[in-house]
Amino acid sequence: SYCNQRRQECDNQMKRIAIFASGNGSNFQVIAEQFKVHFVFSDHRDAFVLKRAETLGVPAYVFELKEFADKQAYEQALIDLLDKHQIDLVVLAGYMKIIGPTLLAKYEGRIINIHPAYLPEFPGAHGIEDAWEADVPESGVTVHWVDSGVDTGQIIKQVRVPRLADDHLEQFEERIHAAEYQLYPTVLEALGVEMIEF
Ligand code: GRF
pLDDT tens digit sequence for 35-89: 999 999 999 999 999 999 999 999 999 999 999 999 999 999 999 999 999 999 9
Can 44 be counted among the known catalytic residues? no
Q: Report d(CA 70, CA 165) in Å as an integer.
A: 47
Higher pLDDT, 71 or 5: 71
pTM value is 0.94
Per the CB < 8 A criterion, the answer to whether 16 and 85 are in contact is yes
pLDDT tens digits along 77-123: 999 999 999 999 999 999 999 999 999 999 999 999 999 999 999 99
Model pLDDT for residues 138-178, shown as the tens digit of each residue: 999 999 999 999 999 999 999 999 999 999 999 999 999 99
Q: Enter the DSSP assignment of 191.
A: T
Q: Choose the residue to mutate in 161, 177, 184, 187 for probing ligand 1, maximizing ligand atoms within 8 Å of C-beta.
A: 177
Integer angstrom CA distances of residue 97 from 21, 43, 65, 86, 181:
10, 9, 10, 22, 21
What are phi and psi for residue 96, nearest 5 degrees? -95, 15
Considering only CA atoms, which of 55, 20, 56 is closest in space to residue 36? 56
* 157 CA distance to ligand 1 middle (Å): 16
Please pick, among 38, 44, 85, 115, the residue that the annotation labels catalytic.
Answer: 115
pLDDT at 1 over 50: no
List the residue whose alpha carbon is closest to atom 8 of ligand 1.
94
152 lines ligand 1 (CB under 6 A): no
Q: Which atom of ligand 1 is nearest to the CA of 113?
A: 10
